[in-house]
Amino acid sequence: MRIIIVWLLMMNSAWASCVTLDTSAWTQDQRNARVAVAYDLAFKSGVNEVPTVVGEEICFPAFDPAALITESSLLTRHADLEAIRQAAAVAEANRLATLRTEQTTLEPDVDSGLSGWAGLTPAEKIEVLRKSMRLHRVERLLGQ
């Protein structure tokens, strides 16, 4: 029984097709993301298998990755994914800056106290409090 298990394990790894990549000039981020990017490229081609990495080799058990997984395709896809991530980070930073600006305009100046509060009508005071409470609730939900 043990011989059969060992034989099956050896045959499975022997059937895997690998591609060797020279990652010496890559950044650490690119090296760290190579498995995820290789999986992404394979998945876009209809192969739903997670690759294995041994040294600088990326291996897939069911298909030959030589045509699909190349240094240029990995680097191009990594750059695309990084651009998407950075655009999302910029959008989130802009959204938070807008929220902070709106919050600052609604909050009274700390140094001057509530100097403008006395000049507001009761309806305006209620509206200011309502907006302040809404922003406070949003901040709590965002974990700010």
**14 located within any domain:** yes
Q: pLDDT, tens digit, for every residue of 10-38?
A: 554 556 788 988 888 999 999 999 999 99
Q: What is the pTM of this model?
A: 0.58
User: Does 37 map to a domain?
Assistant: yes
Q: Give 93-113 pLDDT, tens digit per residue.
A: 999 888 888 777 766 554 445
How distant, in Å, are the alpha carbons of 40, 41, 102 from that of 110?
51, 54, 16
Q: Which domain holds residue 16?
A: 2-89
The separation between the first and the last C-alpha atoms of the chain, rounded to the nearest angstrom, is 59
Flag whether 117 is in a domain. no
Does 83 fall in a domain? yes
Residue 106 lies in a domain: no
CB 61 within 8 A of CB 12: yes
In the numeric block, the tokens 């997984």 are attached to: 69
Q: Residue 143 domain-assigned?
A: no
Question: How much of the chain exceeds pLDDT 90, in percent?
Answer: 24
Q: Helices (H), strands (E): how many in the chain?
A: 5, 3
Q: Is 28 part of a structural domain of the chain?
A: yes
Query: Which tens digit of pLDDT belongs to each residue from 27-72?
Result: 999 999 999 999 999 999 888 888 888 888 899 887 888 888 889 9
pLDDT at 105: 76
Work out how many domains the chain is built from and give that number: 1
136 occurs within a structural domain: no
